[in-house]
Amino acid sequence: MAWEQTLYDASFRGVEFEYFGVDDSGDKSLATHQAPYANDAIVHDMGNNPKNISMTAIIDGADYEQALESLLDALEAKGAGELIHPIFGAITAICASHRVKHDSEIVDGCTVEMQFVQTKAERTIQHFTPEPMPSANETADSIILAAPAEELTVYQEQLTAIGSDTAAAQARSIPETIRSRLREVRTTLGTNLVRVDNLLSPPVWLGSIVGDVDGIVKMLPLDYDPMSNWRRLFNRIKAIGDVFDDSNVPPLRRTGQVLPAAMISRGVITILESEQKAPTLTPDDLTAINDEARQQIQDAIDQVRGDNSEQNEQDLPVVNTDITPIIRDLKKAAAQLQTLTDSVINSRPPLIKHTVAAPCTWRLLAHLLYGDYMRADELARLNRGLVDASVIEAGTQVACYAK
């Protein structure tokens, strides 16, 4: 077949160049076992070594210096790049060495001798890009707290407008109750008792207490069993319970009913954000965390529906009894958490079960399954809890990502 019909235009990392002389070489990786003074040996074929490619580029013309600089930048860049081989087309290769030669025979030009080593393309484990995380005012916790915070704000403004002794007394009791209960909440969480000045603004003090959860999650250790740390945090949040259950202020009581759901939702979103950057949990772990948050949201829905929020005293504002917006926002938050969790899980390859055929270690198993022993930590994380991970017995079923 004629070269003029099949040759490709040579380039490396998108930098094209003229060439003459292409030399491809390959050899075997052999393991030789030979006894002393023996004239023969047992030779094991361990496969092929990476292919070596030698090419000579010619650069000439009035602007050859600029073209040479572009080619050298491509050759000296770190890592592998796409090499368009004149015969074999696109391959992934690393420039092992290069030599620039100026000769009097080439006016306004030079030759560049290049040595390439073919390599495998970098592995990616994502099937698609995860769902982008919502902005701060659109996260599940913000959605949950928006309606109760607005309702409490309006109620406090109405108390001030009424101006009666009963209304004034209740207006004074609200920040006092909030201050004492926030102290109890932070004691249960184990965080510092940070002072909140603006207790008359529900978005401010609610944002402060939800922000504590965000800080706790970011400081939790992710060593041997990170899932146990999440469970301890969620148990502490659930221990808080209904913060203002004995309050005689219906909007404040309603805010306390949804606060634990908002706090756990904030924790889940922070976990999902960290999982996108550096996975530490298995898909089952992520599903369990999401289920925990959704159950807390369901508990909040049941509490809001079962609360009698009527206000009978004439000297106090009329309480809004329409709980539809709060219930709608709780359901919206639950749907958001489910979407984000599914997105993080599906950004990784599907999980399969593999039965170990012979005793091995994670490094050997990773090499067997993927040809990449560096994925041993990934297998250990997916199978956290095996009795003896140093020697995985034959017949053991392990979870692993599909190729």
**Same domain, residue pair 268 and 392:** no
Asked if 380 and 334 count as a contact pair (C-beta separation under 8 A), the reply is no
Note whether 178 and 311 are same-domain residues: yes
What percent of the chain has pLDDT above 70? 90
Is 60 part of any domain? yes
pTM for the model:
0.63
My answer on whether 292 and 362 are in the same domain is no
Q: What is the mean pLDDT of residues 162-180?
A: 84
Distances (CA, A) of 359 to 81, 234, 268, 364: 38, 38, 38, 9
Please name the amino acid found at residue 248.
N
Residues in a beta bridge with 350: none
- Choose the most confident range, by mean pLDDT, from 64-68, 219-223, 230-234: 64-68
Q: Is the CB of residue 291 less than 8 Å from the CB of residue 334?
A: no
- Percentage with pLDDT > 90 across the chain: 17
Highest mean pLDDT among 2-6, 58-62, 144-148: 144-148
> Is 125 inside any structural domain?
no
Average pLDDT over residues 21-44: 89
Tell whether 37 and 104 lie within a shared domain: yes
Q: What is the pLDDT of residue 135?
A: 83
Instruction: Report yes or no on 185 lying in a domain.
Output: yes
**127 pLDDT more than 70:** no
CA distance 204 to 130: 31
Residue 124, domain member (yes or no):
no
- Total number of domains constituting the chain: 3
Query: Residue 94 has what pLDDT?
Result: 92
pLDDT score recorded for residue 116: 94
Q: Do residues 285 and 376 both lie within one domain?
A: no
Judge whether 325 lies within some domain. Answer: yes
Burial class of residue 390 in the structure, from the number of CB atoms within 10 Å of its CB (0-12 exposed, 13-18 middle, 19+ buried) = exposed
At 280-299, the pLDDT tens digits run 888 888 998 899 899 999 99
- What pLDDT sits at residue 1? 45
| Residue 393 and residue 262 share a domain | no
- pLDDT score at 195: 60
Residue 236's pLDDT is: 82
Claim to verify: residue 338 and residue 367 sit in the same structural domain: no
Question: Do 282 and 391 fall within a single domain?
Answer: no
Average pLDDT, the chain: 84
**Is the pLDDT confidence value at 194 over 60?**
no
Cα–Cα distance list, 339 to 265, 292, 334, 372 (Å): 13, 15, 9, 32
Q: Does one domain contain both 20 and 109?
A: yes
Q: What is the DSSP letter of 316?
A: S
Residue 362: both structure tokens together: 């994670």
Nearest to 286, CA basis, from 235, 332, 232, 345: 345
Place of tokens 């099937």: 127
Task: Report whether 290 contacts 336 (CB < 8 A).
Answer: no
Mean pLDDT of 206-234: 74
pLDDT band at 241 (very low <50, low <70, confident <90, very high): confident
Asked whether residue 59 falls in the same domain as residue 204, the answer is no
Q: Tell me: do 146 and 242 sit in the same domain.
A: yes
Higher pLDDT, 301 or 275: 301
CATH code for position 64: 2.40.30.200
pLDDT surpasses 80 at 387:
no
Per the domain annotation, does 247 fall within a domain?
A: yes
Is residue 123 in some structural domain? no
User: pLDDT at position 196, please?
Assistant: 61
Q: What does the alpha-carbon distance between residue 19 and residue 74 come to, in Å, rounded to a whole number? A: 16
Q: Which domain holds residue 151?
A: 136-346
Domain assignment of residue 130, yes or no: no
User: Do 256 and 146 fall into the same domain?
Assistant: yes
How far CA 151 is from CA of 138, 290, 305, in Å, comes to 18, 28, 16
User: Quick count: other Cβ atoms within 10 Å of Cβ 191?
Assistant: 16
Residue 197 has pLDDT above 70, yes or no: no
